[in-house]
Chains A and B, each alone.
Chain A
Amino acid sequence: MTEFERKILGIQSELLMAAGIKILQLNLGYKCNMTCKHCHIEAGPHRDEIMNEEVIRTVLDVLRNHNIGILDLTGGAPELNPHIKYLVKEAGKLNRHVIVRSNLTVYFENGMEDFPDFYSEHNVEVIASLPHYTKDSVDKVRGYNTFKKSIEALKRLNNLGYGKSADHRQLHLVYNPIGAFLPSSQKELEEQYKRELFATFGINFNRLYTFANMPIGRFREFLIRSNNMKKYEEEIQSAFNAATLEGIMCRHLISVGWDGKLYDCDFNQILGMAVDIDCPGHIHDFNYALLAERKIVTDNHCFACTAGQGST
């Protein structure tokens, strides 16, 4: 039994179980125009894992046949999947709400310039990475000139009506700590972000999500290299908050890998930890009833999602 399982059984009688499937989260591929230091996917321009059209058609069949209201697109940079526009349009026809996790800088790549307009036209909710509101902090983690491009992209999204209403064209930002420490209060950081981004650049957005860095991928390499691994693991364990278990994302979604394999979350996907053995492991064999009540596969990295206010 892992430390995480021991923790869960210390506060409730059973291990983590799914509570339905509200969200189908698709990893459209590991290809990205960036190589961020904290990326758990280890995404980059060199990656060639991309979800193909056949898997995407199967995903659409699943959406058509089951009452799953939200399609959540991630990557890599989801925009670098050549089928993304087809997927968004078809999901829209099925009245599914589409979320895209965007790095913002991809809109400056050749042929990608129209994505803000496309997202606006299809009322896609944008969740954008911006690990800080200052240039040096962002460029240090995400690469030279990233902050400038991100600000330009946010201004374009604002001009299209993003970030100004709670009902449509929602624009959320994501804060990741820029090192081996946990995020503080989401509310206070959101106030800082809103104040600073509006005062300096006139930028509006809806919500700030604070996510703890997962000790896997490039962030794990950093923790090992900087001799911070043990302390960070201890920190996420000691910050365990039972109140996060109700809303923890794995209990409400299914993660579909670029090759169609099913996981409890994007992090398990990277670790190669497939859904519970009693469930179908591929989108071709999707079984709502079994998956909606499955046992969640966990390990000690899960402490990063239950630390403090949680990461959902």
Chain B
Amino acid sequence: MSDYYNDEDLGRFGEIGKHSPDLFKKFLEWYNSSLEPGLLTKREKVLIGLAVAHSVQCPYCIDAYTKSCLSEGMTLEHITEAVHVASAIKGGATLIHGIQAHNAADKISL
């Protein structure tokens, strides 16, 4: 990353809490709790995190969740499959909106 996105900035995340510490504390508690193993394992959860990171195209999240996936013993093959799932769903979401266009066109067409 460069320019607008600096990888060092991930380590400065805590600075966000300076101006609204209570909200940031609540966010962190929620965030950390959501990643604890539950019905889903930690491995499954970080893989979801990786897919979402790609879908929302957050460079910080991609860095962090790629490392988490590797730590959980996953390989680039696992990671790439997850990115394909995220991409396919995002692509499908775009494509299904074609029906909206068809509907809109039907409404105003003879």
Further 11 A-B residue pairs, CB within 8 A, beyond A134-B75, A181-B71: A132-B75, A177-B70, A178-B70, A184-B73, A185-B42, A185-B72, A188-B43, A188-B72, A188-B73, A189-B73, A193-B73
* Nearest 9 Cβ contacts at the A-B interface: A184-B71, A184-B72, A181-B67, A189-B73, A181-B71, A181-B70, A192-B73, A137-B75, A134-B75
Interface of A: prevailing SS: loop
Give bound CA distance, A182 to B75, whole Å.
Answer: 14
Chain A, residue nearest B67 (CB): A181
List, in ascending order, chain B residues with CB within 8 A of A185's CB. 42, 72
* B41 at the binding interface (Cβ < 8 Å): yes
List, in ascending order, chain B residues with CB within 8 A of A183's CB. 71
Nearest chain B CB to A138 CB, angstrom units: 11
Chain A, residue nearest B68 (CB): A184
Nearest chain B CB to A147 CB, angstrom units: 13
* A179 at the binding interface (Cβ < 8 Å): yes
Q: How many A residues touch the partner, as a band?
A: 10 to 19
Chain B, residue nearest A180 (CB): B67
Nearest chain A CB to B53 CB, angstrom units: 16
List, in ascending order, chain B residues with CB within 8 A of A211's CB. none
List, in ascending order, chain B residues with CB within 8 A of A192's CB. 43, 73
* A175 at the binding interface (Cβ < 8 Å): yes
Give bound CA distance, A179 to B75, whole Å.
Answer: 11
Q: Are A177 and B75 in contact (CB under 8 A)?
A: no
Give bound CA distance, A177 to B74, whole Å.
Answer: 10
Give 8 A-B contacts (CB < 8 Å), ordered by A residue.
A136-B75, A177-B70, A184-B42, A185-B42, A188-B41, A188-B42, A188-B73, A192-B43
